[in-house]
């Protein structure tokens, strides 16, 4: 059941405008996943369970979302199958499965819209639950320092923009300042936010969890 094949992209988003806490709580309520937030925290810290990267945690959450939907529609499958299907749906690579699910009453579009990505997971854990991976205090302190520097860069850009506008040398509404430093893994090519990469301790891509050989890219 649930064969996959390449097809047109299935659209999915994890809300990046809403609070990550509100988004996770919405998923807990909608899909009756009361322990989703606690599960994300436990697996990120590795407390009596396997420690997972933020990418793996996003896939775990999406698997639970899809699994709950399938059960509500009388479809039962093993977790590995559901996990694989969730990944294919997320990547728009399951046209046959999508058609079959729709025939069985599953609102595939709604499910894919509720899928989350690792950015949502990371923000939820660090900003809403204020979690620090205690065994990595040194790395956490370094990340916090870099975040402070990043905020200072943003402040400098905003001040410069205001000065140029006041002097009449910059017209139009003030642009949104978005300072981003990305790290690209040399082994797998995955580009990740520097903060997420460093907090994870290595490339967060599931198939490249031990790699630490990267290029640094900046963008403003």
Where a domain ends, among 128, 161, 190? 128
Q: Record the tokens describing residue 127, joined without a space.
A: 């900003």
Strands 214-219 and 180-185: antiparallel
67 vs 194 pLDDT, higher one? 67
Per-residue pLDDT tens for 130-179?
A: 776 655 555 666 777 787 888 888 889 989 999 999 999 988 888 888 88
Residue 87 lies in a domain: yes
Provide the number of structural domains found in the chain.
Answer: 2
The closest of 111, 186, 181 to 146, measured between CA atoms, is: 181
Instruction: Among 36-40, 153-157, 208-212, name the one with the lowest average pLDDT.
Output: 208-212
Q: What is the pTM of this model?
A: 0.58
Residue 215 above 60 pLDDT? Answer: no
Residue 149's domain spans which residues? 134-219
Check whether residue 54 and residue 103 sit in a common domain.
Answer: yes
Q: What is the 3-state secondary structure (H, E, C) of 40-61?
A: HHHHHHCCCCCCCCHHHHHHHH
- 85 neighbors 66 (Cβ within 8 angstroms): yes
């Amino acid at each position: 059941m649930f064969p996959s094949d390449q097809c047109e992209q299935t659209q999915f988003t994890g809300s990046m405008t809403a609070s990550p806490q509100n988004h996770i709580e919405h998923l807990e309520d909608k899909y009756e996943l009361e322990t989703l937030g606690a599960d994300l925290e436990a697996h990120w810290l590795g407390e009596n369970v396997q420690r997972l990267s933020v990418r793996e945690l996003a896939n775990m959450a999406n698997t639970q979302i899809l699994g709950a939907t399938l059960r509500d529609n009388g479809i039962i499958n093993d977790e590995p199958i559901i996990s694989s299907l969730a990944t294919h749906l997320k990547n728009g690579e399951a046209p046959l499965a999508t058609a079959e699910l729709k025939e069985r009453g599953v609102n595939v579009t709604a499910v894919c819209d509720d899928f989350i990505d690792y950015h949502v997971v990371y923000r939820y854990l660090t900003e809403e639950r204020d979690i620090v991976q205690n065994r990595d205090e040194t790395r956490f302190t370094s990340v916090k320092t870099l975040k402070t520097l990043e905020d200072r860069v943003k402040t400098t850009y905003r001040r410069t923009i205001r000065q140029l506008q006041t002097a009449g040398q910059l017209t139009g509404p003030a642009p949104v300042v978005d300072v981003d430093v990305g790290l690209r893994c040399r082994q797998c090519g995955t580009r990740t936010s520097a903060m997420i990469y460093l907090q994870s301790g290595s490339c967060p891509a599931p198939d490249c969890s031990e790699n630490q050989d990267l290029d640094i890219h900046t963008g403003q």
